[in-house]
């Protein structure tokens, strides 16, 4: 059984899954480090939660600012029990469109390098303590490349592989690396989707399931479980079949703000 969680550091905490996780943990008396670009939103969130929390208004693409935030949190509250790299952006992209090159760069920098920068300041201290959880929020979109979502699918596929590498690197240290691949969760990110989203899960219910997986220290899980079945089936589909089916799939709009 894992020790009680008393300190959690969360990126992308101003909305969606991050906000839901913050509310879930705060309701259980956990001290939070809340990271996001919209500092006023984070401050309002922190003020609405029970307990004492730290707010860090920054972009996870800024590794120096993340390092400073991590150092401040550890100096004020101690080593976190859980670090959740949740910050991510999503937008429709097409390789043929020159205007989308900047979107590709932004998505990959935020979703992949931002995760690395989130974990980096905490790895050595957690390894030294022989405990803790490093949690990366991936996506079912990283299982196979989806049309019109080349940047997002590529970023989440990279995240899944990165987290596996990190998990093996930390094997036997007492630090658990947890990969969570959500399906469709009710968040501002999915609100812009005009296509059907099977097994859509409210963010608060998703957060509770995420927290259980984190506490258990599972290496990899898909939430909700129904999308886990879909993910396994997607892996098994031969390329010609996958291509025919998903060529007609709905696509996220291009040009969304990042």
pLDDT tens track, the chain, 258 positions: 567 899 999 999 999 999 999 999 999 999 999 999 999 999 999 999 999 999 999 999 999 999 999 999 999 999 999 999 999 999 999 999 999 999 999 999 999 999 999 999 999 999 999 999 999 999 999 999 999 999 999 999 999 999 999 999 999 999 999 999 999 898 887 888 877 788 888 999 999 999 999 999 999 999 998 988 988 898 899 999 999 999 988 888 898 888
DSSP summary character for residue 10: E
Give dist(CA 19, CA 28) in Å, integer: 15
Q: What residues contact residue 96 under an 8 Å CB cut-off, 6+ apart?
A: none
Q: What is the pLDDT of residue 248?
A: 85
Q: What is the pLDDT of residue 204?
A: 94
Q: What residues contact residue 57 under an 8 Å CB cut-off, 6+ apart?
A: 36, 37, 38, 39, 42
User: By the 8 A CB rule, do 141 and 156 touch?
Assistant: yes
Q: What is the pLDDT of residue 1?
A: 54
Task: Determine if the peptide bond prior to 205 is cis (ω within 30°).
Answer: no
Q: What is the pLDDT of residue 2?
A: 67
Give dist(CA 183, CA 143) in Å, integer: 11
Q: What is the pLDDT of residue 193?
A: 80
User: By the 8 A CB rule, do 181 and 139 touch?
Assistant: yes
Q: What is the pLDDT of residue 232?
A: 87
Q: What is the pLDDT of residue 170?
A: 98
Please pick, among 152, 162, 195, 220, the residue that the annotation labels catalytic: 152
Give residue for tokens 């996870």.
60
Q: What is the pLDDT of residue 84?
A: 98
Q: Where are the alpha helices (DSSP H) in 12-146?
A: 16-26, 39-48, 63-77, 101-108, 114-129
User: By the 8 A CB rule, do 176 and 133 touch?
Assistant: yes
Q: Which residue from 90, 85, 119 is spatially nearest to 103, judged by alpha carbons?
A: 90
Q: What is the pLDDT of residue 228?
A: 85
> Is 56 tagged catalytic?
no
- Kindly state the tokens that stand for 65: 């600012």
Q: What is the pLDDT of residue 4?
A: 84
Give dist(CA 57, CA 60) in Å, integer: 10
Per DSSP, the chain holds a count of helices (H) and strands (E) of 10, 9
């Amino acid at each position: 059984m894992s020790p009680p969680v008393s300190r959690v550091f969360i990126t992308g905490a101003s909305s969606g899954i991050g906000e839901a996780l913050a509310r879930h943990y705060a309701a259980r008396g956990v001290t939070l480090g809340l990271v996001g670009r919209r500092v006023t939103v984070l401050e309002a969130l922190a003020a609405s939660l029970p307990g004492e929390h730290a707010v860090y208004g920054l972009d996870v693409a800024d590794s120096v600012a993340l390092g400073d935030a991590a150092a401040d949190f550890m100096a004020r509250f101690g080593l976190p029990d859980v670090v959740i790299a949740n910050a991510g952006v999503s937008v429709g992209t097409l390789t043929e469109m020159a205007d989308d090159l900047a979107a590709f760069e932004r998505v990959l920098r935020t979703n992949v390098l931002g995760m690395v920068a989130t974990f980096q300041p905490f790895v050595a201290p957690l390894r030294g303590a022989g405990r803790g959880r490093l949690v990366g929020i991936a996506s079912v979109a990283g299982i196979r490349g989806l049309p019109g979502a080349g940047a997002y699918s590529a970023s989440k596929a990279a995240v899944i592989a990165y987290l596996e590498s990190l998990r093996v690197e930390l094997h036997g240290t007492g630090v658990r690396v947890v990969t969570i691949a959500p399906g469709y969760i009710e968040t501002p990110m999915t609100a812009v989707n005009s296509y059907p989203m099977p097994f859509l899960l409210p963010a608060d219910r998703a957060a509770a399931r995420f927290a259980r997986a984190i506490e258990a220290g599972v290496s990899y899980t898909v939430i909700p479980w129904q999308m886990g079945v879909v993910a396994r089936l997607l892996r098994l589909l031969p390329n010609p079949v996958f291509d025919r089916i998903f060529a007609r799939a709905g696509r996220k709009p291009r040009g969304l703000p990042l």
